[in-house]
Amino acid sequence: MKAPIAAAVALLLTACATTTSPTGRTQYVGGVSQAQLNQMGEQAFAETKAKTRQSTDARQQAYVRCIVTDIVRELPANWQQLKWESVVFVDDNPNAFALPGGKVGVHTGILTVAKNQDQLAAVIAHEIGHVYANHHDERITRQLGAQGALGVAGALLGSRYGEGAQQTTSQLGGAALQATFLLPGTRTQETEADVVGQELMAKAGFDPRAAVALWQNMITASGGNQPPQWLSTHPNPQNRIAELQARATSLVPVYEQARAAGRRPNCG
C-alpha cells in the first residue's frame, strides 16, 4: 500500500469506531454520526415516496403499519423512540426495505408472496433487523474506507455512493443516498438480519416458523429461474431454509411465551 493511500485509510479509521452487533459480531462503524445517518435515511425515504406510487388501499397500509408497530415494540427503548413510518409502494417486485430513522417500505409484490401476517412479519422483521444491527452505518463506513483507499477527497461532503450515483455536495443525498441505502447488504449482513429478525418476530408473538414458509414461497415465486432480486445476495436458498428451520425450532418457546404474555398480533 502506497504511503498516501495508507495515510488516507489510517485517517479514516481514526474517525471510526468498533461496536458489537446484536449477534456479537465486531463491526466498524461511525463513518457518519447517528443523527446524520437518520437524516440520510429520512431523505432517501422521502425521495422514494416522491418517485414511487404509494398504495391507495388503506387496508394494506394499516396491515403493514400494524406489523411494524408490533415488531418495533420489541426493540430497545432508544430504537422505539425513532419516528417510525411505513409505506406500501405499488411495485410488483417482491421486495421490502428499512432505513435508518425508522422508515419501512413494502412493495405490493411481497404481499402476494407472504400469505399471512406471520410470513409478512418475517420479511419486515428481517429488514428492521438490518437497521437495528447498524448495517447501513457499517456499509457507509466501509464505502468511505474504500473511497479513502482510492484517494477520493471530501468523502463526507461530496462523493459518489454506488455505481452511477450523481455528485452530491452539502449532504450525502439525492441518487447517491438511494444507491448507498437501497443496495443489498453483504451475505454476512443478510444472514445476521435473518437471525435478528426471526428473534424479533418471535418476541412480538409472530410464529418464527413462518420465516421458513415465506422463503419457500419466494423460491416458488421465482419459478425455478433467476431468484427474485431480494434473494440475490442471500446465502444458498436451501441452506438458508435449513438454518431458518433450525432457529425456528429453538425460538418456538420464545414465541409461546410471548403469546402467553398477551402479545397476540392481529394485523389481518
Say how far apart CA 72 and CA 201 lie, in whole Å: 10
- Chain-centre distance of CA 65, in angstroms? 16
CA atoms within 13 A on the CB side of 23: 20
CA dihedral (24, 72, 63, 40) positive or negative: negative
Please state whether beta strands 103-107 and 85-89 pair in parallel, antiparallel, or not at all (unpaired).
parallel
Is 138 designated active site? no
Which residue in 127, 138, 192, 243 is the catalytic one? 127
CA atoms within 13 A on the CB side of 235: 15
Q: Is 79 helix (H, G, I), strand (E, B) or coil?
A: helix
Q: Cell 495508507 identifies what position?
A: 6
Q: Is 67 helix (H, G, I), strand (E, B) or coil?
A: helix
Residues forming the active site: 127
